[in-house]
Structure 1
């Protein structure tokens, strides 16, 4: 669960940006801008990062500005012989389920299939949405951004070999009781455990916060 101060400051920033989007009073706009600036300064302090790095997360060309909404992260889960497919991220040297930001123009399932191909080199078909998680409510590494995380079980199309992609340096299948060090900003062990539970009992409902 995220630190209560981080949650509060993210919410304050979102309220300020929403106020800037919908207010037409010049004095209110100035106040909302001040609140947004203060919130970004607090976010930078909480994240132990320079202010410029935090401001960069909320540029109009990065976000749509105005009404701030959660970002979408998609993850694909592939099992083979009771082992799960994981990729080793170049950015931190830790392991994760294949996935990343959802791109515009594609459905959540299509984005997941694309990410698995780009990071693990195999074509898959997303078959079941087994979990929708609010990152801030899980045991993930803290993040100044807010995310909804969508987890899909995927079926592998025939006759393919896994291979690392441009953003990954290794790929492999792992037993559930011998997982490598996980990139906890992206995935935690319970995400994988829930996937296996769903495989064993596909009639159970989708997990959500």
Structure 2
């Protein structure tokens, strides 16, 4: 079930069509049409987000090649049955540590890096617990990209709690202690609950949309 508004879904589809067309077209008339299509997508997003149209045109112009979803990795790292959460500096909400996957790193390498950078803890990946399509879950606010969210079950192997320029808190929480002020742009309550399910039942298959 798609939870994001139709205007955003349509705008993202138009932007992707325009990007793919500009990548593969040599015909100047087609290029002109795809550029116009990109302008329409930018206008739709500017209207929906109540932001300047040029900001979205600049955003689209930085995207090159065939349009694909972006990848966000999240680490559900446990110690003594409690889950590691970090408090985001940007919105003050708690979340599973994570962020964008980087080129030339495997997804598991990326999530281990993110856990260390945001919390100070070293971790080892045990399994891929879930692959979620962000647009199919009630994350807020809406954003102009299509995103796949990869959740990994991890165990702490070393390190000490350390805040970073991205985080203002690092702590472990039992399942009945999860903070109410989550950073729901990044992590939803049911996703954390599902990670506890995977901890209790290691043989559970990977969740996917």
| Match of residue 108 from structure 2 | 109
TM-score by length of structure 1 reads: 0.93
Q: Deviations over 1:52-90 (max 9, x none)?
A: 332343343xx3x13211111001111223321111111
| Match of residue 147 from structure 1 | 147
Distance 1:56 1:96 in 2: 30
Which runs of no fewer than 5 residues in structure 1 stay unpaired?
A: none
| Match of residue 135 from structure 2 | 136
Query: CA offset at residue 8 of structure 1?
Result: 1.4
Which runs of no fewer than 5 residues in structure 2 stay unpaired?
A: none
Distance 2:17 2:155 in 1: 41
**Regions of 4+ moved over 3 Å:** none
Distance 2:65 2:130 in 1: 29
Query: CA offset at residue 177 of structure 1?
Result: 2.7
Pick one of 14, 21, 24 that aligns with 1:22: 24
SS of equivalent to 2:67 = coil
- Tell whether the 8 Å contact from 2:79 to 2:156 is kept in structure 1 after alignment: no
| Match of residue 42 from structure 2 | 40
Q: CA RMSD in A?
A: 1.4
TM-score by length of structure 2 reads: 0.93
| Match of residue 52 from structure 1 | 54
Distance 1:106 1:29 in 2: 34
